[in-house]
């Protein structure tokens, strides 16, 4: 299985070829309706097109089913769960290599196959789904063992990599922990925010009561190995602290000054790509403040889109997020009350996003 998945990864440039049926009105019309409204006939029509052999409709079906299945009676939901007698997930996987890698986002055994699938999805440009599987692999396994070459060249969010570092320092054998300390020093040398985020807790620099896993002597050795002075390390960590607090705003609210200061440090993080599309479409004039405000109010949008976003071969991510359906996945299906504490936080940073959150959804 692992060899097969790696073969798919190597074949990824060919995976992005246009899918058949994308220009067929039998797919285009119901899919466009599903992007705009909660029209249950859109799901029924897409299912009919998929059963008639339209590949684009088949690949769109899992996401549209996720959006609209609640609008249908049970008998229709049961019928849509199969395509010409085959379970939907199996039919989709058989039709497309990227869909087979995604496999509905399920964790697979042995654990390294989930990591391989994530790598394949990164290579195919399915960043949100790849990040979801990578996070699943870290959460389920702790991220132990040898890490793949080129891991830190992939568009993995800093906070996710920080979780990987912390996990590898917890509950593993001394060899893994020693390797992780060496890796942290290398990532400090590369000025990787994830290393600073992780060390803030691992070395007890956050003042918390958590068990310190890297003592002062080990931290000093890491800083020296990275070619830094302690002064330079402390200065850079102080610069990144607002960013760390911003990514954890879901647990501990941040003020406007902290949010904006943190955003300048991590605005280019790939985990925020969905927000770029949302804020460019909804709050063009204040897009940067819009993104910072969203994270301050709701936290990073990690995992929001993996299950609900269609494959990029069906519709590119930025184009999807500019639709009413795409924006609803990030803003929520219903208007947020004006007195919601999250709206109060958002309004301190960007009034446009606050107004968007409290406005009726399309």
66 contacts: CB under 8 Å, gap ≥ 6 = 307, 308
* Per-residue pLDDT of the chain in tens (362 residues, 90 and over written 9): 444 444 444 444 444 467 899 999 999 999 999 999 999 999 999 999 999 999 999 999 999 999 999 999 999 999 999 999 999 999 999 999 999 999 999 988 888 899 999 999 999 999 999 999 999 999 999 998 889 999 999 999 998 999 999 999 986 788 899 999 999 999 999 999 999 999 999 998 887 767 788 999 999 999 999 999 999 999 999 999 999 988 887 777 788 888 888 888 888 887 788 888 889 888 999 999 999 999 888 888 766 678 899 999 999 988 898 898 988 888 887 788 999 888 998 999 999 999 999 998 76
Query: Radius of gyration over alpha carbons of the chain, in Å?
Result: 22
Express each pLDDT in 11-69 by its tens digit: 444 444 678 999 999 999 999 999 999 999 999 999 999 999 999 999 999 999 999 99
* Nearest one of 8, 96, 117 to 50, comparing CA atoms: 96
- CB-CB neighbours of 175 under 10 Å: 9
| pTM, to two decimals | 0.89
Q: Are 55 and 21 in contact (CB under 8 A)?
A: yes
Cα–Cα dist 72/40, whole Å: 6
């Amino acid at each position: 299985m692992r060899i097969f998945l790696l073969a798919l990864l190597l074949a990824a440039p060919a995976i992005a070829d246009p899918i058949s049926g994308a220009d067929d009105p039998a797919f285009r019309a119901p899919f466009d309706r599903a992007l705009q409204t909660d029209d249950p006939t859109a799901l029924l029509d897409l299912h009919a097109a998929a059963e008639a052999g339209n590949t684009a409709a088949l690949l769109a079906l899992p996401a549209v089913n996720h959006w609209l299945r609640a609008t249908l009676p049970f008998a229709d939901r049961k019928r849509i769960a199969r395509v010409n007698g085959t379970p939907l997930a199996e039919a989709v996987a058989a039709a497309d290599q990227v869909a087979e890698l995604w496999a509905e986002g399920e964790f697979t055994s042995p654990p390294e196959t989930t990591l391989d699938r994530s790598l394949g999805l990164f290579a195919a440009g399915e960043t949100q789904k790849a990040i979801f599987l990578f996070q699943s692999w870290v959460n389920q396994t702790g991220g132990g063992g040898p890490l793949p070459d080129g891991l830190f060249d992939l568009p993995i969010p800093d906070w996710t990599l920080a979780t990987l570092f912390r996990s590898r320092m917890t509950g593993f054998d001394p060899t893994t922990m020693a390797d992780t300390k060496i890796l942290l020093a290398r990532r400090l040398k590369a000025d990787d925010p994830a290393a600073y985020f992780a060390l803030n807790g691992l070395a007890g620099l956050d003042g918390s009561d958590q068990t310190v896993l890297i003592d002062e002597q080990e931290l000093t050795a890491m800083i020296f190995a990275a070619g830094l002075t302690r002064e330079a390390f402390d200065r850079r960590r102080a610069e990144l602290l607002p960013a760390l607090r911003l990514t954890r705003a879901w647990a501990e609210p941040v003020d406007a000054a902290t949010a904006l200061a943190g955003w300048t440090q991590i605005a280019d993080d790939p985990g925020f790509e969905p927000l770029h599309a949302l804020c460019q479409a909804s709050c063009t004039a204040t897009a940067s403040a819009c993104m910072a405000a969203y994270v301050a109010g709701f936290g990073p949008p990690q995992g929001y889109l993996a299950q609900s976003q269609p494959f990029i071969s069906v519709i590119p991510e930025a184009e999807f997020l500019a639709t009413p359906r795409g924006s609803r996945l990030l803003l929520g299906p219903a208007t947020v009350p004006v007195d919601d504490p999250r709206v109060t936080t958002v309004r301190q940073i960007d009034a446009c996003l606050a107004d968007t959150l409290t406005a009726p959804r399309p």
